[in-house]
Amino acid sequence: IVNTRVHNLSWSHFRSIIQVADPKAREWYVKEASEQMWSVRTLNRNIGTQYYGRRMACVREGSALPAPDVEANDPLEYIKSPVVAEFLGFRKDSKYDESQLEQALIDHLQQFIMELGRGFAFVDRQKHISTDTGDFYIDLVFYNIKLKRYVLFELKTHPLTHADVGQLDMYVRMYDDLVKDENDNPTIGILLCTETDKVLAKYSVLNGSEQLFAAKYMAYMPTEEELSREIEQQKRFFLEQHGMEE
């Protein structure tokens, strides 16, 4: 911690960070809190929701998956599962449809971007893509300036299905072909759903893909034990997607 640039962190920040047991996590929280100018409240929220451990990059670090190019930003640093969205104001037993979920995310866009991480900028909702045979609408479109690529989000209020995966795959291919500039990196698609599925991770086009991801979202604040279980479950899903077993 001493060797890290922390000129904009207060003693209250450090008091929260020193409670984190994992030295790597402590170092990461110091760096992120300083560079992203997190308030103490935001830092405490992110520590409480195990932000560090929910990063897919953290899963890579603990596995035999190839390390990213050191010259490039690792997309897995910007993908989390589960996504914790307690700021939407839903209860654990709340009933809502996809349009209500989308509107809630738009209404709380700043908090959603904070949850997504650094570099995200909102581009559009219900992005219209027109082809010779039909019209298509992508739920949410962001651009990540660190990754230099578009990130598409499809929202589902049910567990992951093969139809959802196929839809996302088509949207990503369309965006790369019809929208993406030649200077942009390949588009990423993230399907936010209420539950992932290891079978689909293994046998659908998710398997081995560096552009398609599925992430569980929790529209409420889980308990520490519940969140820890979910992190382990999503870790297994991710490893299955990349052809690895623990």
Tens digit of each residue's pLDDT (9 = 90 or more) over 163-179 = 999 999 999 999 999 99
Please tell me the predicted confidence (pLDDT) of residue 71.
Answer: 46
Q: Which residues are CB-contacts of 39 (< 8 A; sequence separation ≥ 6)?
A: none
Q: Are residues 40 and 99 in the same domain?
A: no
Q: Is the pLDDT of residue 60 over 80?
A: no
Do 42 and 110 fall into the same domain? no
The candidate with the shortest Cα–Cα distance to 212, out of 157, 178, 171, is 171
Is 187 within a domain?
yes
Residues 118 and 232 in one domain: yes
Total tally of structural domains belonging to the chain: 2
Query: Which residue from 142, 76, 156, 84 is spatially nearest to 115, judged by alpha carbons?
Result: 84
Residues 155 and 108: their CA atoms lie apart, in Å, by 15
**In terms of domains, do 106 and 217 share one?**
yes
Same domain as 122, residue 36: no
117 and 5 within one domain? no
| 193 and 84 inside one domain | yes
For residues 42 and 134, membership in a common domain is answered with no
- Is the model's pLDDT at 2 over the cut of 60? no
What is the structure's pLDDT at 3? 45
What per-residue confidence (pLDDT) applies to 15? 93
5-37 tens-digit pLDDT: 567 889 999 999 999 999 999 999 999 999 888
| 231 has a pLDDT exceeding 80 | yes
| 176 lies in the same domain as 78 | yes
**From 43-52, 169-178, 232-241, the region with the lowest mean pLDDT:** 232-241
Cα–Cα distance, 189 to 148 (Å, whole number): 14
- Strand 83-84 versus strand 188-193 pairing type: unpaired
Which residues, in sequence order, are CB contacts of 154 under 8 Å at separation 6+?
A: 138, 139, 164, 167, 168, 171, 189, 190, 191, 192
d(CA 231, CA 82): 7
Average pLDDT over residues 65-81: 67
Span 103-161, pLDDT tens digits: 999 999 999 999 998 899 999 999 999 998 899 999 999 999 999 999 999 999 999 99
Alpha-helical regions (H) of the chain:
11-17, 23-35, 40-48, 51-54, 56-61, 98-107, 109-116, 162-178, 198-203, 224-241
Question: How far apart, in Å, are the Cα atoms of 122 and each of 104, 139, 217, 222?
Answer: 15, 12, 19, 27
Question: Is position 150 within any domain?
Answer: yes
- β-pair type (135-144, 83-84): unpaired
Are 26 and 123 in a shared domain?
Answer: no
**For the packed helices 109-116 and 98-107, what is the interaxial angle rounded to 10 degrees?**
90
Beta-strand ranges (E) seen in 173-221 are 188-193, 212-218
Domain extent for 112: 68-241
pLDDT surpasses 70 at 4: no
Contacts of 156 (CB under 8 A, 6+ apart): 98, 164, 191, 192, 193, 194
CATH label of the domain that carries residue 183: 3.40.1350.10
What pLDDT is recorded for position 143?
97
**Which two tokens mark 150?**
């578009």
pLDDT grade for 62, boundaries at 50, 70 and 90: low
Phi, psi of 38, rounded to the nearest 5 degrees: -65, 140
The DSSP line for 127-180 is: EEEE-SS-EEEEEEEEEETTTTEEEEEEE-SS---HHHHHHHHHHHHHHHHHT-
84 and 30 in one domain?
A: no
pTM score: 0.87
